[in-house]
Amino acid sequence: MDDPMQTVYVWLDDEGHRTVLLFALAAALGLASVIYFVLTGEGSPTRLQLVLILAAGAVLFYVSLRSTAF
């Protein structure tokens, strides 16, 4: 049986898997910000919500920079 850590490394070494995971991370960060905004019911976004949105944008920017398919 293969080592589980080696299997994870081989899976993450694939560019397609890594791109999908990074896009999923960006979507999760953005969704968390929107859900938090809706649940708090405040009229303006908090610092945490802005940080979550900026982090999602940064991940998308990173993915677009490392992607070779323009």
User: Which pLDDT tens digits describe the chain residue by residue (70 residues)?
Assistant: 578 888 888 888 888 888 899 999 999 999 999 999 999 988 888 999 999 999 999 999 999 888 765 5
Does a structural domain hold residue 31? yes
pTM: 0.79
Please report the pLDDT score of residue 70 as a whole number: 54
Instruction: Identify the CA nearest to 29 among candidates 21, 39, 41, 40.
Output: 21
Assess if residue 42 is contained within a domain. yes
Q: Are 41 and 12 in contact (CB under 8 A)?
A: no
Q: Is residue 57 part of a domain?
A: yes
Q: Is residue 5 part of a domain?
A: no
Q: Do the domain assignments include residue 39?
A: yes
> Which domain covers residue 41, as residue numbers?
18-66
Q: What is the structure's pLDDT at 6? A: 87
Confirm whether 2 is domain-assigned: no
* Domain tally, the chain: 1
In a domain, 29, yes or no: yes
Q: What pLDDT, on the 0 to 100 scale, is given for residue 61?
A: 93
DSSP 46: -
In the prediction, which pLDDT does 23 show? 94
